């Protein structure tokens, strides 16, 4: 209690009402004031005497000015609705325009996708055509080569007739003594069973000696069934036997499909 | 008295509360503005501006920081000082004969009815010269304690205690 009286007497409350204290000091007095009613009462009396003093310095009582101030108050309130009316059509046009724009973008995007898809399809088609053309060109070249082989004057045509195991089988050997090559046309041989392969033998007659000159590999896959084999033997005849995959050292005579001899020219 | 309830209503945007606040404080604030500007028309303008600010910025008042009267006082003093520092005002105001609120009171008492004049004269008579200076700077001009001490060449603590004595005298005449 004594402390509070001292506080009141210190003169800090007068400075507080003036607004002459620092912010921190003012906040401190505000807190004290809320705690002690007697401080609050003291502050109210200081304030009251100062208000009377400054009112005495006023040229007149400005009561009537409240009317013009109030007009400005209500005037400021009306500002808000006016600004709203102005903007009635413009935003809708804006929204409509942006909607149209979005729609257009969407259509263009779809169209672009379609075009890209068809371009890809056309490119795939083109690649396919190209490979077909290349294949045809290869075939044509091979046919040319075969034709050249058949026309070669050194070629000896050796028909190989069907034997006991396959009387219907038939093959032709084109034998070229000069360049050590023999072509087998196996068009009329049946497809070999799984795991088996045709093996071609060059034969010497007196005495009968077979020598393997190769296998008819990938028989099913070969379209024209003409196989080129290298043959350095002096062949007097040719035989084709069916052998297990990979071929055999000596021919399996029970599986002799075709056989023919080179006729002396 | 601090009208706590009234301030809450004002902060809620209640116009009747605003009118009541105006009735309570306008004459005191008008006296402050006039003491600084010494121009009746300008003072009326500023008073209107000050109360518009009070209406618009009421929510920024916080009782933890100080009295509502002090808050208004600062708005009024700042607005008045801004005005007298502006160019158009300086050109208009050729001579400021009067130095402080006492001159206004004296001038006013000369033109007032006898009863009012007695009321005004008692302020003039009771306040010592130093009190007149202290109150003029601290209250009407809004000087801080430190600024006042420097201006009057007085220790900081003395400003506080001397002013306390001055206000005590003022209160004895008022009540």
Assign residue B41 the CATH number of its domain.
1.10.1740.10
Q: Do A70 and B2 touch (CB under 8 A)?
A: no
**pLDDT at site A48:** 93
Give all domains of chain A, ordered by start, each with its CATH number.
2-58 (no CATH), 155-261 (2.60.40)
pLDDT (tens digit, 9 = 90+) per residue, A35-77?
A: 999 999 999 999 999 999 999 889 889 999 999 898 888 644 4
| Residues in chain B closer than 8 A to A58 (CB atoms) | 27-28, 30-31, 34
Minimal Cα distance from B159: which residue of A?
Answer: A11
B124 and B144 together in one domain = yes
CA-nearest residue to B145 within chain A is A20
What is the model's pLDDT at position A178?
80
Q: Does residue B9 sit in the same domain as residue B88?
A: yes
Interface predicted TM-score (ipTM): 0.92
Distance of CA A133 to the CA centre of its chain: 30
**Domain enclosing residue B108, as ranges:** 101-174
Q: Any CB–CB contact under 8 A between B37 and chain A?
A: no
Q: Do B52 and B8 share a structural domain?
A: yes
Q: What is the mean pLDDT of residues B33-51?
A: 93
Do residues B132 and B76 share a domain?
A: no
**B148/A51 CB distance under 8 A:** no
- Is residue B51 domain-shared with residue B75, that is, in the same domain? yes
CB contact B139 to A (< 8 Å): yes
Q: Which of B92, B116, B150 is the last residue of a domain?
A: B92
Domain match, B12 and B87 both: yes
The total of structural domains in chain B comes to 2
pLDDT of B147 reads 93
Sign of CA dihedral B139, B144, B145, B146: negative
Same domain? For B86 and B110 the reply is no
Q: Are residue B126 and residue B170 in the same domain, yes or no?
A: yes
Contacts B150 to A, Cβ<8 Å: none
B82 and B12 in a common domain: yes
Spatial separation of the C-alpha atoms in residues B162 and A50, rounded to whole Å = 16
Banded model confidence at residue B160, pLDDT cuts 50, 70, 90: very high
pLDDT (tens digit, 9 = 90+) per residue, A101-125? 999 999 999 999 999 999 999 999 9
Query: B45 with B106, same domain?
Result: no
For A4, the 3-state DSSP assignment is helix
Phi, psi of A201 (to 5 degrees): -120, 140
Give the predicted TM-score (pTM) of the model. Answer: 0.56
Same domain, B113 and B160: yes
Same domain, B159 and B107: yes
Q: Which residue has the tokens 């393997």?
A: A212
Which of B39, B63, B92 delimits the end of a domain? B92
The answer to which of A67-71, A142-146, B64-68, B78-82 has the lowest mean pLDDT is A142-146
Instruction: Please identify, among B92, B113, B145, the residue that sits at the C-terminal boundary of a domain.
Output: B92
Residue B111 token pair: 């033109």
């Amino acid at each position: 209690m004594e402390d509070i009286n001292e506080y009141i007497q210190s003169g800090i409350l007068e400075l507080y009402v003036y607004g002459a204290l620092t912010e921190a000091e003012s906040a401190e007095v505000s807190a004290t004031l809320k705690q002690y009613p007697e401080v609050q009462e003291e502050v109210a009396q200081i304030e009251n005497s100062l208000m009377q003093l400054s009112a005495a310095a006023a040229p007149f009582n400005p009561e009537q000015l409240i009317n013009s101030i109030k007009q400005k108050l209500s005037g400021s309130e009306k500002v808000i609705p006016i600004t709203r009316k102005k903007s009635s059509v413009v935003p809708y046009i804006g929204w409509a325009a942006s909607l149209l724009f979005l729609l257009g973008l969407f259509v263009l995007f779809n169209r672009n996708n379609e075009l890209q898809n068809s371009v890809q399809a056309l490119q795939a088609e083109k690649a396919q055509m190209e490979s077909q053309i290349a294949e045809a060109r290869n075939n044509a070249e091979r046919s040319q080569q075969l034709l050249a082989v058949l026309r070669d004057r050194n070629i000896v045509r050796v028909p190989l007739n069907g034997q006991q195991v396959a009387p219907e089988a038939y093959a032709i050997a084109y034998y070229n003594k000069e360049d050590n090559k023999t072509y087998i046309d196996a068009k009329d041989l049946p497809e070999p069973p799984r795991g088996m392969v045709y093996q071609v033998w060059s034969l010497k007659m007196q005495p009968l000696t077979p020598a393997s000159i190769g296998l008819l590999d990938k028989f099913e896959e070969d379209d024209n069934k003409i196989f080129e084999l290298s043959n350095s033997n002096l062949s007097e005849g040719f035989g084709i036997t069916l052998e297990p995959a990979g071929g055999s050292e000596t021919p399996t005579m029970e599986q002799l499909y075709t056989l023919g001899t080179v006729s002396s020219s | 008295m601090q009208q706590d309830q009234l301030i809450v209503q004002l902060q809620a945007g209640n116009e009747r509360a605003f009118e009541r606040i105006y009735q309570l404080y306008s004459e005191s604030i008008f006296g402050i503005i006039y003491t600084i500007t010494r121009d009746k028309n300008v003072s009326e303008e500023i008073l209107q501006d000050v109360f518009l600010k009070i209406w618009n910025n009421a929510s920024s008042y916080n009782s933890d920081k100080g009295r509502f009267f002090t808050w208004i006082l600062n708005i009024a003093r700042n607005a008045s000082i801004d005005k007298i520092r502006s160019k158009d005002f300086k050109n208009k105001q050729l001579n400021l004969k009067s130095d402080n609120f006492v001159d206004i009171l004296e001038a006013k008492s000369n033109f007032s009815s006898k009863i009012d004049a007695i009321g005004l004269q008692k302020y003039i008579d009771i306040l010592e010269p130093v009190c007149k200076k202290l109150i003029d700077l601290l209250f009407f001009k809004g000087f801080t304690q430190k600024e006042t001490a420097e201006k009057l060449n007085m220790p900081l603590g003395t400003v506080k205690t001397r002013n306390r004595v001055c206000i005590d005298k003022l209160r004895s005449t008022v009540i």
